[in-house]
Amino acid sequence: MEESGFDVIDEADRRGRLVKGLDPREPETAVRLDDGGEIMVPTDRLIRRPGGGLRLTSRFTDVSEAPGAPRLTVIPVLEERLEVGKREVETGRLRVRKRVSEQEQTVDEPLLADEITLERVLINRFVDQAEAARMEGDTTVIPLHEERLVLEKRLFLREEVRITKRRIERRAPQQVTVQREEVIVERVDVNEK
């Protein structure tokens, strides 16, 4: 009975295929395993499956490890391995130049200045004692005394000096030169030096 190429499944669901036809008169049959190797299994342990193919009533490893059983033949399987590397390849160049440009700008900031006015005010009156300097708002008042000879000596307020401080704002526009940098990027051919 010629059944070569039939699938064979063991109890552990490992798979293989018959190498030659199944001959019930032979004590052993060769099976090539799907995961590599070839094994001889007892022919009387192979039974037909209802869906097609054969089932081994034990495991392939049990058959190969049984005393006096033929050894499992392992056929090495070659494997290709991919080696990946990288190298630098110049695909282009960039040239970067910097250019400085100048432009005139008008600066118009307020400038502060203190302006002082001096005012002399004649008082011309006698006082009992010397008056101290005092502040009246933004004005500093400094009394100036003198002694006058009268039948009696009395203090006479001759005048006051009034100093007023006033803040004024004026504008003084000026031209100022400022610099600004720009970057120019251009692609250069690889072969150009």
Q: What is the mean pLDDT of each run of 10 residues along the chain (193 residues)?
A: 66 85 84 83 85 82 56 57 85 87 88 88 88 90 85 82 87 86 82 67
In a domain, 53, yes or no: yes
Beta strand ranges found along 49-173 (DSSP E): 54-56, 93-107, 110-127, 134-136, 139-149, 153-171
Give the domain extent around 31: 7-65
What is the distance between the alpha carbons of residues 107 and 89, in angstroms, rounded to a whole number? 52
Tally of structural domains, the chain: 2
What's residue 83's pLDDT? 85
- Reading the block at residue 22, the tokens are 């199944």
- Confirm whether 127 is domain-assigned: yes
In a domain, 120, yes or no: yes
The pLDDT value recorded for residue 192 is: 66
Of the candidates 180, 134, 130, the one whose C-alpha atom is nearest the C-alpha of residue 161 is 134
The confidence score (pLDDT) of residue 66 equals 47
Q: What is the pTM of this model?
A: 0.32
Question: In this structure, are residues 60 and 16 in contact, taking their beta carbons and an 8 Å threshold?
Answer: yes
Does residue 32 belong to any structural domain of this protein?
A: yes
User: Cβ distance 91 to 55 under 8 Å?
Assistant: no
CA–chain centroid gap for 153, Å, is 91
Q: Residue 65: what pLDDT? A: 52
Per the domain annotation, does 177 fall within a domain?
A: no
Within a domain: residue 75?
no
pLDDT at 2 (0 to 100): 45
**Has residue 71 been placed in a domain?**
no
